[in-house]
Amino acid sequence: MFRAIFTNSSGILFSRILGFIRDLLSASILGANIYSDIFFVAFKLPNLFRRIFAEGAFMQSFLPAFSAAKYKPSFAFNTLKKFFIIILTLSAFVTIFANFITNILAFGFSMQAKQIAAPLIAINFYYLDFIFLVTFLAALLQYKNHFATTSFSTALLNISLIISLLLARDKPPVEIIYYMSIGVLVGGLLQLLAHLVAAYRFGIIKLLLVGCKSPKVDTQVQQKFNKAFLPSIFGNSTAHISAFLDTWLATFLVSGSISYLYYANRLFQLPLALFAIATSIAIFPKIAKYLNNNAQAQAMLMMKKSFILLLVLLGIASIIGIVGAKPIVELLFQRGEFDANDTYHTARVLQMYMIGLLPFGLSKIFLSYLYSTHLHLKAAKISAISLGWNIIFSLILIYPLQACGLALASSLSGYILFALVIKEFGFDRFKKLMFD
């Protein structure tokens, strides 16, 4: 378990370090203004799907079904074909109706800003096509107990964006965000190539070729996967949809608010990804296997160790993030176009986000248990309730606290999410897990 966690965490840390270099350059070159807001809106939708897919939802539905499938090659190929056609169609829809999509995503923008954003939203959305293929191959690599390629390959996106920013640094802001959008696509392509190499090495390409030629279909397994997929997507997406709603509502606030939320959320996501997501990805296959083999005690022991580890790590990270928000933001971002006023606002938003780090992070472990016991629909209902409260809190807090109110609303909904997940897991079982 700990080896897999270390591999995931190392890859995430390497990627996040490059991500901070990318954000440092972005803040220095673009600052926090309408142009940075436009790019973050354009990248938000495909990045939302990336996080939902790559950080557990697809794997938590696909891996149990793939493990149970009698005809694994045909099940894998049919799943790949169906989803890729859907995503290609969706990308074409976004391209054709880019203005309509922009009016929804950037509702509060001026008409001029919307005109700039529309083609960028269409360009950035094709990143999703690459990242679905990456996630699909990553799921099969995880089945082979290979985590390194997936955890380290995200760095390729950051490298591509860093190069784009360096190439465009002396150009007008509109050109810079076009360079960055092309960099997003190049990063997606590089991630896909890395996974294709690993897939070839582990025999996955051969498996898919066999599945392409095989007429055999596991109808029952396919139906089970289809039934679990959408609830799993929604159940895993609360924190990410909350951040997406923050961005949408921030289009109604002063220029720069979206950028404050973006930079603060990037800092919030570091400990969440480094500790909570890395741990949940590593323990999920093992918990699922233990429960399928009726080894309840072993599954509970693994969850207890993971919970205590995360409680300590996320607790320390929360304190550091809340107390040291201003010097952290100042050290990382305050240079060039990103001034002291931007630091002040970003730091305040970061403090509000860090209040919710513990509940969002700890929920990951217990959600893994719910998915392992095939309670996907329950997890989705819990997430829907949490998301509903997030919307209510956001509408209450947005005007008195501005961007800080949106971040605080997200954190408050995290506590509701954690309470509901523990209720479904069972308070008695939770107390036994903690104190036995």
Residues 42 and 180 in one domain: yes
Q: What is the mean pLDDT of residues 127-134?
A: 91
Residue 284 in contact with residue 371, Cβ under 8 Å? yes
Q: What is the mean pLDDT of residues 18-23?
A: 84
Residue with tokens 């949106």: 406
Residue 89 falls inside a structural domain: yes
* Whole-number Å distance between alpha carbons of 219 and 166: 51
If one compares 317 and 380, the residue with the highest pLDDT of the two is: 317
Domain residues for the domain of 49 are 10-226
Residue with tokens 């990382």: 332
Q: What is the pLDDT of residues 328-383, one digit of tens each?
A: 999 888 888 788 999 999 999 999 999 999 999 999 888 878 877 777 778 878 88
- Tell me if the pTM is above 0.75: no
Give the model's pLDDT for residue 220: 74
Residue 218 in contact with residue 75, Cβ under 8 Å? yes
Please work out, in degrees rounded to the nearest 5, the angle formed at the alpha carbon of residue 103 by the alpha carbons of 98 and 106: 105
Residue 75 in contact with residue 69, Cβ under 8 Å? yes
Q: What distances in angstroms separate CA 116 from CA 111, 174, 344, one per listed residue?
A: 9, 8, 28
Q: What is the mean pLDDT of residues 407-417?
A: 94
* Whole-number Å distance between alpha carbons of 152 and 399: 40
Residue 232 falls inside a structural domain: no
Cross-strand partners of 338:
335
Say yes or no to pLDDT of 2 above 60.
Answer: no
Give the model's pLDDT for residue 34: 82
Give the model's pLDDT for residue 396: 95
Chain-centroid distance of CA 181 in Å reads 19
Sign of the C-alpha dihedral computed for residues 331, 333, 334 and 340 taken in this order: negative
* Domain count for the chain: 2
Other CB atoms within 10 Å distance of the CB of residue 166:
11
Residue 39 in contact with residue 164, Cβ under 8 Å? no
CB neighbour list of residue 123: distance below 8 Å, 6 or more residues apart: 42, 178, 181, 182, 184, 185
Residues 216 and 288 in one domain: no
Residues 318 and 253 in one domain: yes
Give the model's pLDDT for residue 146: 82
Q: Which of 226, 249, 264 represents a domain boundary (last residue)?
A: 226
Residues 187 and 108 in one domain: yes
Q: How many residues can be counted in the chain?
A: 436
Band (pLDDT 50/70/90 cuts) for residue 46 is confident
Residues 167 and 50 in one domain: yes
Give the model's pLDDT for residue 181: 94
Share of the chain above pLDDT 70, in %: 91
Residue 18 falls inside a structural domain: yes
Cross-strand partners of 335:
338
Q: Which of 200, 226, 252 represents a domain boundary (last residue)?
A: 226
Residues 323 and 415 in one domain: yes
Q: What is the pLDDT of residues 203-241, one digit of tens each?
A: 999 999 988 887 777 777 777 777 767 666 666 666 667
* Whole-number Å distance between alpha carbons of 237 and 413: 13
Chain-wide mean pLDDT for the chain? 85
Say yes or no to pLDDT of 100 above 80.
Answer: yes
* Whole-number Å distance between alpha carbons of 174 and 162: 17
Say yes or no to pLDDT of 395 above 70.
Answer: yes
CB neighbour list of residue 127: distance below 8 Å, 6 or more residues apart: 43, 46, 47, 50, 184, 185, 187, 188
Residue 4 falls inside a structural domain: no
Share of the chain above pLDDT 90, in %: 36
Band (pLDDT 50/70/90 cuts) for residue 144 is confident
Residue 363 falls inside a structural domain: yes
DSSP code for 272: I
Residues 321 and 359 in one domain: yes
Rg of the chain in Å (alpha carbons) = 21
380: exposed, middle or buried (C-beta count within 10 Å: 0-12, 13-18, 19+)? buried
Q: Which of 226, 245, 269 represents a domain boundary (last residue)?
A: 226
Residues 167 and 273 in one domain: no
Token pair of 87, please? 């995503």
Residue with tokens 């392509």: 189
Please work out, in degrees rounded to the nearest 5, the angle formed at the alpha carbon of residue 428 by the alpha carbons of 423 and 431: 100
Give the model's pLDDT for residue 238: 64
